[in-house]
Amino acid sequence: MSQPKSELKTGLLALAEVVAIDLPAALTLRAFRAETDGDLYKAGWKGYEAATGVVTELTNRAYANKSIAKVGARMLERTMKTQRVVDAMAGAFFSALWPSLGLPMASDIEALRRDVKALREEVRAIAYEREAETDEISREAEAARATAIREAAVGAHVHQSFAEASWVGWRALPAMEVRNRVRS
C-alpha cells in the first residue's frame, strides 16, 4: 500500500510545482515577451499531465474501496432494472398507439429496405448489361470508321489525276463519306 501513496504524493508534488513555479514563470516571460520555445505551452501540458495523474490515482483508489464498489454495483443493478421496466412500458404503450396512428412498424420499414436493395441490384445488373451492349455497338462503329478511312485513303490514291486539281474541296469528300458510313 505504500507505493500507491507515493504515486499520489509524486503527482500532487508535480501539480504543486507546476501551479506554484512553472505557470507563473511562463506567464511572466510571456507578459514581457521574453518567452522562448513555448514555455507557457510546455508548462500547460506539464500541469495537464500532473492533474491527469492525480485524478487517475484517486479514481483507482475509489474503485478499490469495497464500500464504494458495493454502492456502485447496487446503482448499476437498479439502473438496469429501471431500464427494463421503462422498455416494457414503452413497448406496451407504443404497440397499441402505433397502429392507431397508422405509422409503419419497424418490420415494415425493414421489408421496404430489403425491397429497395433488391431493386438497386436489378438496376445495376441492367445497367451493366446495357453498358456491355453499348461497348459492342461502339466497337462496331469504330471498326466501320476505320474501314471507311482505309477505303477513302485507297480511293484518294487511285485518283492521282486530281492531286493537282485547282478545286480543293475534293479532299474533304472522304471525311464526309466516313461520317455517313458511321451514321448508317
Residue where a domain stops, chosen among 95, 126, 152: 95
- For residue 138, CA distances in Å to 118, 131, 169, 183 come to 30, 10, 30, 12
For 167, phi then psi, to 5°, come to: -85, 120
Residues 48 and 30: their CA atoms lie apart, in Å, by: 19
Give the tens place of pLDDT for each residue, 103-142: 787 888 899 999 999 999 898 888 888 777 777 777 777 7
pLDDT in tens, 160-181: 454 454 445 545 445 555 555 5
- The pTM assigned to this predicted structure is 0.39
Spatial neighbors of 162 by CB under 8 A, at least 6 apart, are 170
Residue 100, in any domain of the structure = no
- Please check whether residue 174 is in contact with residue 156, taking contact to mean a CB–CB distance below 8 angstroms: yes
**Domain match, 83 and 133 both:** no
